[in-house]
């Protein structure tokens, strides 16, 4: 389900009417965190989370952190809830035997970069990662989950959308109030182009923790997109960002299809998209994450556009990482 439009507009009548429910939701989050008994491991735990519901860029942030830590000589493991997956027990993701329906699309993608564990009980998953040789755990999401002690918490936000109307679910897009959430964060990372970053700071002012900025950049694969006719589809938190990326590469988007976040790419859906692309003389294109959910027979028919996070200044994060060990 795409988020309601009023979440990203100045507060109006509907968000005002829903504000009391938002207060109840925020109180429930605060109560859950206060009653938690976080397990402390013998290795650092880094949480990559958000205050917003939905996608903010956590997956590319986790990938960037993994590569940074590996470059420092560490052996990071990733622990994820495996949103959308059907496996009900703790498992290390294996790309040869698991698919997105079993473990979720994000863990399947992340497993290509570091050992990745899917566990509804984050502490149990982290302990198994520790037993398997991890010297640092990266918690994919879980900023509002109290089961595991976090040595470093990095909150990620989309610079263009910011914190929406600043209200808590269902009155707005937030899991908890901005001030409350950022008071627990060690670092804030806003992701977006320079214009969006300027808008973010103008709207939300200087955060109470060190603020990093970054942007998502298409990975150079040797593909020449200039003038290519494409039918682009995406089932991520903000599909329009992907469509803008494809357009910036020089492709001509003859049709774009915004799917729900994590939407299954069923046989019937893919056949429809394939037929539409053929009629339009276009190539099917999707995100790297969506590509993990493609039916096997469509993997050779759909091109993906991988993106990577480029952080403008790593210094504050490098200091924080160094201090963990």
Residues 38 and 112 in one domain: yes
CA distance 192 to 8: 16
For the segment 91-121, what is each residue's pLDDT rounded down to a tens digit?
999 989 999 899 999 999 999 999 999 999 9
The residues near 57 (Cβ < 8 Å, ≥ 6 apart) are: 156, 158, 189, 191, 216, 309
- Residue 149 belongs to a domain: yes
Kind of pairing, strands 187-191 and 152-158? Answer: parallel
Q: Is 55 a known ligand-binding residue?
A: yes
- Residue 33 belongs to a domain: yes
Q: Is 54 a known ligand-binding residue?
A: yes
Residues 166 and 57 in one domain: yes
Please report how the helices 315-322 and 58-71 are oriented relative to each other, as an axis angle in degrees rounded to 10. Answer: 60
Residues 211 and 80 in one domain: yes
Number of domains present in the structure of the chain: 2
- Residue 2 belongs to a domain: no
pLDDT score recorded for residue 262: 86
Domain extent for 247: 229-305
Q: Is 53 a known ligand-binding residue?
A: yes
Residues 112 and 193 in one domain: yes
Exposed (0-12), middle (13-18) or buried (19+): which is 286, by Cβ within 10 Å?
buried
Residues 147 and 28 in one domain: yes
Residues 293 and 314 in one domain: no
Q: Is 59 a known ligand-binding residue?
A: yes
Residues 208 and 300 in one domain: no
- Residue 47 belongs to a domain: yes
- Residue 74 belongs to a domain: yes
Q: What share of the chain is helix, strand, coil (3-state, %, to 5)?
A: 35, 20, 40
Q: Is 164 a known ligand-binding residue?
A: no
Q: Is 58 a known ligand-binding residue?
A: yes
Residues 292 and 314 in one domain: no
What Cα–Cα distance (Å) separates residue 125 from each residue in 28, 137, 145, 178? 25, 10, 14, 29
For the segment 218-245, what is each residue's pLDDT rounded down to a tens digit?
998 888 999 999 999 999 988 999 999 9
Q: What is the pTM of this model?
A: 0.94
């Amino acid at each position: 389900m795409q988020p309601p439009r009023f979440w990203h507009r100045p507060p109006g009548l509907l968000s005002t009417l829903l504000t009391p429910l938002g207060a109840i939701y925020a109180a429930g989050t605060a109560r859950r965190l206060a009653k938690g008994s976080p397990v402390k491991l013998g290795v650092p735990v880094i949480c990559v989370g958000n205050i917003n519901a939905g996608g903010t860029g956590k997956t590319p942030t986790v990938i960037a952190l993994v590569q940074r830590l590996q470059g420092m000589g560490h052996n990071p493991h990733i622990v994820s809830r495996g949103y959308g997956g059907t496996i009900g027990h703790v498992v290390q993701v294996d790309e040869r035997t698991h698919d997105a329906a079993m473990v979720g699309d994000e863990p399947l993608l992340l497993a290509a970069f570091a050992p990745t564990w899917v566990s509804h009980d984050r502490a149990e998953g982290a302990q198994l990662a520790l037993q398997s040789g991890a010297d640092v755990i990266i918690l994919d999401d879980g900023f509002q989950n109290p089961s595991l002690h976090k040595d470093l918490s990095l909150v990620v936000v989309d610079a263009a959308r910011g914190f929406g109307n600043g209200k808590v679910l269902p009155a707005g897009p937030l899991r908890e109030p901005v001030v409350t959430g950022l008071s627990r964060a060690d670092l804030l990372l806003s992701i977006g182009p320079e214009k969006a970053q300027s808008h973010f700071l103008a709207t939300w002012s200087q955060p109470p923790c060190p603020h990093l900025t970054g942007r998502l950049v298409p990975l150079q694969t040797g593909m020449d997109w200039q003038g290519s006719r494409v039918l682009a589809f995406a089932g991520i938190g903000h599909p329009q960002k992907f469509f803008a990326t494809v357009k910036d590469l020089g492709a001509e988007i003859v049709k774009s299809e915004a799917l729900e976040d994590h939407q299954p790419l069923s046989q019937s859906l893919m056949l429809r998209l394939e037929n539409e692309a053929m009629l339009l003389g276009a190539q099917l294109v999707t995100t790297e994450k969506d590509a993990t959910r493609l039916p096997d027979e469509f993997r050779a028919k759909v091109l993906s556009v991988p993106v990577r996070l480029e952080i403008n200044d790593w210094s504050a994060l490098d200091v924080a990482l160094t201090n963990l060990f």
